Structure 1
Amino acid sequence: METIYIQNLKCGGCATTITKNLSEISGVSHVNVNVEESWVTFTLENAAALEMVKNTLKKLGYPEDGEANSLGSKAKSFVSCAIGKISN
């Protein structure tokens, strides 16, 4: 089980978007998002999937904790959050 602490995680809408998108990556399963602690856990079938997870999180606006958190990332996370709320 891998754990990544992420930025810009605000609510269940964010968690829904993250879970949906990460679950679609080949080799990634058992995705769990903790909104209060700002982390996501998942199981990897291969090491190559880890980079895909990190890139997907960054594209959605949830960069790994410690990475640059630009205004663009923050804006993307708001959009991802809204989409997650609508999908719920």
Structure 2
Amino acid sequence: MTVNQIQVHVENIKCGGCEKSIVKGLESMDGVSNIVIDREQQLISVTADESLREPLIAKLKSMGYPEHGSVAGIEAGLTNAKSFVSCAIGRMS
């Protein structure tokens, strides 16, 4: 196991509600810790084994925060809509 700092540039982080949802979602993943979100840079950094990079990216996408440049067209619209839901949930929790 090689534990590294993994950084992922994502889309759709708009507010503290988004950040709360992302942290909550990533905390549910075994082996992910030290979650840091830079809203201005749209950058998420975590400490995790490199083998978790793809599952991490998939988890973020499922919550509406796809890796920057990875979605387009209708799929981009759908992930944007998911991010609004995640954001609202984050603001309420």
Runs of at least 5 residues in structure 2 that lack an aligned partner in the other structure: none
TM-score after normalising by structure 2: 0.87
1:83 and 2:83 equivalent? no
1:73 and 2:76 equivalent? no
Identity in percent: 38
Q: State how far apart, in whole Å, the 1-side matches of 2:8 and 2:52 are.
A: 13
Q: Which has the larger radius of gyration?
A: 2
Once superposed, which parts of structure 1, at least 4 consecutive aligned residues long, lie more than 3 Å away? none
Answer whether contact 1:61 1:73 (CA < 8 A) is retained.
yes
Answer whether contact 2:6 2:50 (CA < 8 A) is retained.
no
Answer whether contact 1:25 1:49 (CA < 8 A) is retained.
no
- Match of 2:26, SS? helix
TM-score after normalising by structure 1: 0.92
CA-based RMSD: 1.0
For residues 27-42 of structure 1, what are the structure 2 equivalents within 5 Å? 27-42=31-46
